[in-house]
Structure 1
Amino acid sequence: MLSIIQAAGWPIWPLILCSVAALALVIERGVALRRAQVAPPGLVDEVLQVLRQGVPSSDVLNKLSANSTLGALLSAGIRLVAQDPRCSETLLRDGFEAAGRSAAHQLERYLNALATIASAAPLLGLLGTVIGMIEIFGSQSPGSSGANPAQLAHGISVALYNTAFGLMVAIPSLMCHRYFRGRVNDYLHDMEQGAERVLHHLLRMERSSGSKR
């Protein structure tokens, strides 16, 4: 591996940094976007079961908020009803939407950086290719006494290795970015559906409590 890096020349070092950064981002997003940490199965049903017994206490809402991203979204809407039982539908829906935007921002964190690496890596490989071609043409300059095989071989190595390494960094980065983007979209859809169910239940609770009064 070290011999390949030496043969590729200095243009490969930015690609190595990109590969390390991409690997770190993939690992971080892979851990952060686990189902249990974002939207655990059955959480909405558990919340609805608790709400049937009334608005939960602040301690229960704090535990729900710390449970997952979906839990934080649902607890934000339930807190509005806990603070103001006569909260309007518009205010309640705005509260859920604000919490949803915050959750979406959290889920999409670092995805732009991963996409940037996937786009920049081929360009860095192309830069290395151009530098290698310059060295090749330099070895064939009219002022030189014949071709320099060592310089010619080094130029070819720089050109080919950087192109290959750039694609090796870009392709997995792009695939991981598309994969994580799809997971985020699925999570956001599930969270939207869960928030809508809880919202309708809270509105029914308000109507029933209002009719009793």
Structure 2
Amino acid sequence: MDFFNSVIAFFQTGGAFMYPILVVFALGAAVAIERYLRLVYERHTNRSMWDKLQPILNSGDFDRARNLVSKDNSGVSKLLAMGLARQGAVRRREDIEIAMEESMMEIIPQLEKRTPYVALFSNIATLLGLLGTIMGLIEAFTAVANANPAEKADLLSASISVAMNTTAFGLMVGITLLIVHALLNSLTGEIVDSLEMVSVKALNIISISSRRRRDVEAEEKAEKAADSIKADGADAGSEGARADAENPSAEAKKDEQALENA
């Protein structure tokens, strides 16, 4: 209870600039809470969606993966939707990678939205505290100029002590918001790194699947070509035998003539 009373007394003796600093702190705290909840939710949904998508991608069922991401609004779904859309139309890894990078350029600003305001409110609170102190000092020196010389020292020290409350409160708000801003930036960077990791993993899975499909197609073509060659060889052999049967050789004709002369 004594601590609470001390805080109230500290706030009341700080002057009029304590109220704008309090308003700035409230705005910064509101933005910080909204951003934190949004980023935590985004991180959770991204992890859960990737846990669902990874087995499907590993199995090569890209049509099912496309249907799944089309029904979800998480960052991972937006990222992979662009890549999977290109997967069925192109074969080059670079084209799919460019599509995912384009999607990342749309996702990152959404993650960083309003976070810079926390740092802005921190700077404003600090500057308001300094301004309040300067204004308090001006009032103190003005009052001391017309005061009794015997009371000038005590009056000046008391006025300066009150004026410093504004700077102290502004610094407390500014430091708090700066720490929160750093935490939000760290959380945002973690989400961006996870999206980049998902992008690389998905690209590798798509590339391996495309390579396997090309190998299978090449083997099928080779088998068809071999079967075609065998069929052509068999047809040529049967035609040769038929020609030999229809046109007997010269030796056979000579033998027949010799038998007739004998």
Tell me which interval the TM-score lies in, with the shorter structure as reference length.
Answer: 0.7 to 0.9
Which of 152, 164, 169 pairs up with 1:165? 169
Letter in 2 for 1:203: S
- Structure 1 counterpart of 2:42, from 27, 37, 42: 37
Q: What CA distance in whole angstroms lies between the structure 1 residues aligned with 2:116 and 2:147?
A: 50
| Aligned-partner SS, 1:126 | helix
- CA deviations 1:96-147 (Å, max 9, x no partner) are 1111122221211122111112223222111111111101101112xx2525
Deviation at 1:13, TM superposition (A): 2.6
CA distance in 2, matches of 1:183, 1:38: 9
User: Who is 1:24 aligned against?
Assistant: 30
- Aligned with 1:14 (options 14, 17, 20): 20
Distance in 1 separating the partners of 2:104 and 2:43: 12
Choose the corresponding residue for 2:137, options 133, 140, 147.
Answer: 133
Deviations 1:142-161 (A, max 9, x none): xx252589x86884465122
Percent sequence identity over aligned pairs: 24
For residues 116 and 159 of structure 1, what CA distance do their matches in structure 2 show?
24
Judging by fraction of residues, say which structure has more helix: 2
Unaligned runs of 5+ in 2: 1-6, 219-262
Q: Identify which of structures 1 and 2 has the higher relative contact order when contacts are C-alpha pairs closer than 8 Å and 6+ apart.
A: 1
Unaligned 5+ residue runs, structure 1? none
- Say whether 1:102 aligns with 2:106: yes
Determine if contact 1:129/1:162 at 8 Å carries over to the other structure.
yes
Out of 72, 82, 90, which is 1:76 matched to?
A: 82
Cα deviation for residue 29 of structure 1 reads 1.4
Pairwise CA distance, 1:90: 2.0
| Equivalent residue in structure 2 for 1:56, among 63, 78, 89 | 63
SS of aligned partner of 1:140: helix
1:178: how far off? 1.0
Which one-letter code corresponds to 1:17 in the other structure?
V
Larger radius of gyration: 2
- Residue from 193, 198, 210 that aligns with 2:197: 193
Per-residue CA deviations over 1:62-83 (Å, capped at 9, x if unaligned) read 22x42x222322222212224x
Q: Which amino acid aligns with 2:42?
A: Q
- After superposition, the Cα gap between the structure-2 partners of 1:145 and 1:186, relative to the gap in structure 1 and judged at 3 Å, is closer
In the alignment, is the contact (CA less than 8 A) between 2:14 and 2:166 conserved in 1? yes
Equivalent pair of 1:132/1:156 in contact (CA under 8 Å): yes
Equivalent-residue separation in structure 1 for 2:128 and 2:81 (angstroms):
46
The one-character-per-residue Cα deviations of 1:16-44 (angstroms, maximum 9, x if unpaired) are 1210111101211110111x523543643
**Deviation sequence 1:182-210 (CA, Å, 0-9, x none):** 12212221211111010111122333334
Question: Residue 129 of structure 2 contacts residue 168 of structure 2 at CA under 8 Å; is this kept in 1?
Answer: yes
**Contact 2:60–2:209 (CA<8 Å) still a contact in 1?**
no
Matched residue SS, 1:10: coil
TM-score normalised to structure 2 length: 0.68
**Which AA in structure 2 matches 1:91?**
D
